[in-house]
Amino acid sequence: MRRILLKAKIHGATVREINLNYEGSLVLDESLMKAADMIPYEQVEVDNVSTGERFRAYLVKGEKDSGLVGVLAAAAYKVKKGDKLIIASYVLLDDDEIEFFMPRIVILDEKNRIKEIK
């Protein structure tokens, strides 16, 4: 049997940019993506902690060490600057892989700097 489990989560990301006129979805600082083991074009679920809104997006690599969290195109209607987000990616695992698997949790401060990695 295969199961879908949380692969990685970025917790406490603050929206710093909104751009309705962009062909993309969710732009993240390259350093944050690397810390969470996420890659460009990977599908993510975004939970807007500020409003309760949820949506699916894909990642676009942003400038390294910029702290950028930007919501682009149609997804930009679901947020406003300053909203707090949880960005999660998932993985499909066989039962024999699950026992040894641990998701990566990246906790951010108010400036989108890494505070802790679990």
Asked, for residue 15, whether it belongs to a domain, the answer is yes
- 89 as an active site residue: the answer is no
Question: Residue 63 in 3-state DSSP?
Answer: coil
Candidate list 25, 31, 41, 77, residue with the active-site label: 25
Asked, for residue 72, whether it belongs to a domain, the answer is yes
Both structure tokens of 48: 């807007």
- 31 as an active site residue: the answer is no
Cβ contact 112:13 at 8 Å: yes
Candidate list 31, 50, 58, 66, residue with the active-site label: 58
Distance CA 33, CA 10 (A): 9
- The pLDDT assigned to 38 comes to 98
- The pLDDT assigned to 27 comes to 96
The number of distinct structural domains making up the chain is 1
For residue 14, the domain's CATH number is: 2.40.40.20
* H/E run at residue 69: strand 69-72
- Type of residue at 29: D
- The pLDDT assigned to 23 comes to 75
Q: Which domain holds residue 42?
A: 2-93
Chain centroid to Cα 104, Å, comes to 12
Asked, for residue 104, whether it belongs to a domain, the answer is no
pLDDT tens digit sequence for 18-55: 999 887 799 999 999 999 999 999 999 999 999 999 99
pLDDT tens digit sequence for 58-116: 999 999 999 999 999 999 999 999 999 999 999 999 999 999 999 999 999 999 999 99
